[in-house]
Amino acid sequence: MENIDATVITTSLPAMARDLHQDPISLKMALTAYVVGLGIFIPICGWVSDRFGARNVFRTAIGIFMAGSILCAVSFSLPTFVFARFLQGVGGAMMVPVGRLVIFRAVPKHDLVKAIGYLTMPALLGPVIGPPLGGAITAYLHWRWIFFVNIPVSLLGIYLAGKYIDNERGGDAGPLDAIGFVLSALGSGLLMLGLAMIGEHQVSDTVVITMCVLGGVFVYAYWRHANRVEAPLLDFRLMRIPTFHASVVGGSLFRIGLGAVPFLLPLALQEGLHMDPFESGMITCASAFGAIFMKAIAQRVLARFGFRQVLIVNAALAGLALASYGLFTHTTPVIVMLGVVAFGGFFPSLQFTCLNSIVYADIASEDASRATSLASVVQQLSLGLGVTISGMVLQASSRLAGHTELVASDFLPAFLVIGLFSWLSIPVTRQLPADAGTELARKH
């Protein structure tokens, strides 16, 4: 549901922008608002799950996500739409991390790679179904109907979670680190919103700069606070574990690049190459077919080459694939676009399987909640930064070229930048020991 929602929205952004009387790039605020909701509430997902039980939290999260979807469908201005997306982010902040925590606690470590593969396979259906579904609904009905798709799925999810998920708690949750929650919420929220508003002219430049500076100050204050308390919400001491450090830091750089694709590629196809939403959606969904194929062979690739080598080589290939999207022109054959976009899903799929598996390779069971919170918040903020950074580069390249409307050539610098972020993850993963994750790979 979450992945379908995200890919449906990005395919429909130009139509939404026209209805809400906004520039298409301005709607990156809606994507950023969702990530801000994630960034604020993911840090407490581990504590809340331990305190109230995984099933209760998971079902409540789905309900909040459904409420946000309904509000999105009835929004008639950018501020109300942004708020509705923020509410969806609050629900999403609990759904995926708590679901991952349930899997970690239920599955033996030697089966973790296989379990992560099963866990991500349903999520891969989102990019397959989302773009053509969003394109068809936008082209032949109205974009508002895309949010009503979430209602029956949410109701089914609440029922199935109640039937199949135990209300497991992870032991004594202890007191909530309230100071840490406030500092992390203010830091991530202000910083992400400030970055997203750069160049938007919705508020003054002074306000934008102030938000960014204050966000940075609160993030630093949280870092100081986390190093002093015994049980912080986000425990940076876990970064001393090499496999966790490589997954979180290297993975965040990789996700900055990949996080921009669902925003940037549909915009390039529709605004730059003047495709209709359905055509754009059919090309965009090719990445999911590449991702699904990679899932079928990921375990054998890891067993043959190991985590370290795969993470390094694959990041280089993924960066090339993502950067090549910027070379699409009006004369590029559709079959070539489909092939390139499929490779753009093939390599990142393997990267995510590696990153999501190795993050728990050396984590003790009692640290699982804190590890999940820290890894999830960094991952989601990285995806949001990808949208913000690519939007800023796209705006800058269009204005420097003197274009009043977006053209195909405006997108090349943005795609080059997101490819660069994939390559920047390589020096981090190179620091992994050669035998990192050997136990996980050997079992498969």
Q: 313-332 burial, b for 16+ CB within 10 Å, e for fewer?
A: ebbebbbebbbbbbebeeee
The whole-number pLDDT of residue 444 equals: 41
The whole-number pLDDT of residue 68 equals: 92
As a whole number of angstroms, the distance between CA 328 and CA 331 comes to 8
Question: 321 and 226, same structural domain?
Answer: no
Question: 245 and 98, same structural domain?
Answer: no
20 burial type by CB count under 10 A (0-12 exposed, 13-18 middle, 19+ buried) = middle
Residue 116 vs residues 11, 221, 233: alpha-carbon distances, Å: 27, 34, 24
Question: 157 and 260, same structural domain?
Answer: no
Question: 244 and 110, same structural domain?
Answer: no
As a whole number of angstroms, the distance between CA 146 and CA 401 comes to 35
> Under the phi-then-psi rule, with left for phi > 0, alpha for psi from -120 to 50, and beta for the rest, what region is 225?
alpha
The whole-number pLDDT of residue 217 equals: 92
- Sequence-distant (6+) residues with CB within 8 A of 298 are 113, 117, 349, 350, 353, 354
The pair of structure tokens assigned to 312 is 């390094």
| Strand ranges inside 176-284, DSSP E | none
Read off the pTM: 0.70
Last residue of a domain, one of 232, 251, 267: 232
Neighbours of 206 (CB within 10 A): 8
pLDDT per residue rounded down to tens, the chain (444 residues)? 877 777 677 677 777 888 877 776 667 677 778 878 877 887 887 778 878 888 888 899 999 999 999 998 888 888 888 899 889 988 988 887 787 777 777 777 667 667 776 776 666 666 667 767 777 787 777 888 888 888 998 999 999 988 888 887 766 667 778 888 888 888 878 887 777 676 555 667 788 888 888 988 998 998 888 888 877 777 788 888 888 888 888 888 888 887 788 778 888 888 888 888 778 877 877 877 777 777 777 777 877 888 888 888 988 998 898 899 989 988 889 899 998 888 888 888 888 778 877 777 777 766 777 777 788 778 777 877 787 788 888 888 888 888 878 888 889 999 999 889 889 988 888 887 777 666 665 544
Question: 62 and 143, same structural domain?
Answer: yes
The whole-number pLDDT of residue 196 equals: 66
The whole-number pLDDT of residue 63 equals: 94
Question: 416 and 375, same structural domain?
Answer: yes
User: What CATH number is given to the structural domain containing 294?
Assistant: 1.20.1250.20
Domains contained in the chain, number: 3
Question: 240 and 223, same structural domain?
Answer: no
Expressed as residue numbers, the domain containing 200 is: 177-232
Question: 126 and 2, same structural domain?
Answer: yes
The whole-number pLDDT of residue 155 equals: 94
The whole-number pLDDT of residue 173 equals: 60
Question: 141 and 7, same structural domain?
Answer: yes
Question: 323 and 268, same structural domain?
Answer: yes
Question: 203 and 78, same structural domain?
Answer: no
As a whole number of angstroms, the distance between CA 59 and CA 287 comes to 30
Question: 94 and 72, same structural domain?
Answer: yes
Last residue of a domain, one of 129, 144, 173: 173
The pair of structure tokens assigned to 282 is 């059919």
